[in-house]
Amino acid sequence: MNHAFPAAPTPPFKTVAWAVLAWTAVSALGALQTYSDNLRAGAESHYPALLVTWFIEYAVPLIVLSAGLSLALARRPELVARPRRVVALFVGLMAVFQPLQWLYMAWLRGYLPVAGPDEAWQLFLKMLLVGWFSTTGTFAAILAIHYWRHALQRELAWQRSQTDMLNLRLALEEQRMLALRAQFEPHFLFNALNAISALVRANDKALALGGIGRLSDLLRYALSASACNTATVAEELQFVRDYLDLQRLRYEDRLQVGIEGAGPWLHEIGCPPLILQPLLENALRHDLDCREGPGDIRVCFARELESEAPGEGEVLSIRVTNPASGQASINPGAGLGLANTRDRLRLMHPAASLRAGLDGERFVAEIRLPMGDRD
C-alpha cells in the first residue's frame, strides 16, 4: 500500500512574516555592532538611525530573496530535486538577484545615475563584495530548511502509512476472528443438538426436555461470550462442565471425565471464549463413539516454565487426553473444532498454541497459554 501525504503549504503571509522577523533580528544585531564600533572610534552615532539603515539597505533585499525563494520551492520542489538543478538555480539567482541588489544599494547611497562607462566600472568594483556572502548564506539556509521540511514530511507520511498498515492488519484480524466465531458457533450448536436428538430417537422425552433446558443455558453463555474478546479459563471450565452435563444425558454413566489441577487461580488467566469445548467434543467423538464401555477422558491444568520463551515466562498447560482407538468415529464431524481453536489461539497471542497428536496409546490435545495479566 502506497499513499502520498502532501503537506499543506505554508501560507504566503506566514512565510513573509518569518522572513521579516528573521532579518529584522539580524539588522538589529548588525546595527548594534556598528553602533559599538562607532563608539569605540569616537564617532557620533545614533542606534535607531543605524537600525533603519541596516534594515532598508540589507534586510529588505534579503527578505524579498528569502520569501520569494521559500514560496518558489514550496510550489515547485522539483527545482532542487537534483544537484545539477540546485547549481543551476544558484547560478541563475546570482546572475539576476545580485545585480538588482547592487543597483538598489547604489541608488540608496546616491551612486546613481552614472555618467559613463568609467563610472559604471568604478561602481561595479565598489559594489563587487557587497551581498555575496549574505546572498549565498541565505540561499543555503533556505535550501536546508526546504530539505528538512521535506524530510520531516516523508517521515510523517511513512509513520501514517505504517499506522494505516497496522490498522488494516488489526481490522483484518478482527474480521478473521469474527469469521472463525461465526463458523464455530453453528458447529457447536449442531453437535449439542446431536446429543438431544439421540435422546429423542430413544423416545426419552423427559431427558430430551432436560437437555433442551441445559442447551438453553449453554447458548446463553455462548452468546454473551461471543460479544467479548476474552474470557477466563475458570469461566470456560464451568462452561465445559455444563456441556458435559448435557452430553451425560446421552452417554449416561459411560461418560467419565477426570479434571485435575483446577483452582481459583484459573480466574486470573485470560483465553479466547469457547476454547475448551472443542477439545472435549473431540475427545468424546474419538473415545465413547468409537468403543463400548466407560470413557477415560482426562483434563489437566498445570503451570509450567516455558524455557524457550524470552525471560522464561510461565505458561498454563491444558491437556485433554483420551484413549486412542483404531476405529473410525460414527460422528467424525466437519474437522473444524481443533483447526479453529488453533487459529483463535494464534490470533489472541503469538505464543499461544495448540498441539494435538498421539502420545503412546492416548490422543493428546494440549493448549499452552502465556500467563500474563488478563486484558
- Domain span holding position 338: 168-370
Q: pLDDT digits over 315-356, tens only?
A: 999 999 998 876 545 444 444 567 778 887 887 888 889 999
> From CA 211, how far away is CA 195, in angstroms rounded?
8
Beta strand extents in the chain (DSSP E only): 231-232, 257-260, 270-271, 297-305, 314-323, 353-359, 362-370
Residues 153 and 27 in one domain: yes
Q: pLDDT digits over 253-269, tens only?
A: 888 899 999 989 999 89
Residues 156 and 176 in one domain: no
Of 160, 192, 216, which residue constitutes the final position of a domain?
160
Of 160, 190, 213, which residue constitutes the final position of a domain?
160
Task: Please tell me the total count of domains within the chain.
Answer: 2
> From CA 114, how far away is CA 111, in angstroms rounded?
7
Determine how β-strand 314-323 pairs with β-strand 353-359: unpaired
Beta-sheet strand order (sheet of 297-305): 257-260, 297-305, 314-323, 362-370, 353-359
Residues 189 and 128 in one domain: no
| Residue 174 pLDDT | 61
Would you tell me how many other CB atoms lie within 10 Å of the CB of residue 315? 20
Pick from 227, 329, 231: which is nearest to 277 by CA?
Answer: 231
Residues 143 and 187 in one domain: no
Residues 206 and 340 in one domain: yes
Residues 222 and 352 in one domain: yes
- CATH number, position 290: 3.30.565.10
| Residue 4 pLDDT | 43
Residues 231 and 110 in one domain: no
At which residue does the C-alpha cell 503451570 appear?
303
**Is the pTM value of this prediction over 0.75?**
no
Residues of the chain with pLDDT under 70: 1-10, 128-130, 168-192, 195, 199, 203-204, 226, 306-312, 326-337, 372-375
Residues 285 and 194 in one domain: yes
Contacts 24+ apart (CB under 8 A), 46-51: 51/27
Residues 200 and 280 in one domain: yes
Residues 88 and 154 in one domain: yes
Three-class DSSP category at 360? coil
Residues 179 and 322 in one domain: yes
Question: What DSSP designation does 288 have?
Answer: T
Of 132, 160, 188, which residue constitutes the final position of a domain?
160
6 lies in a domain? Answer: no
Residues 204 and 334 in one domain: yes
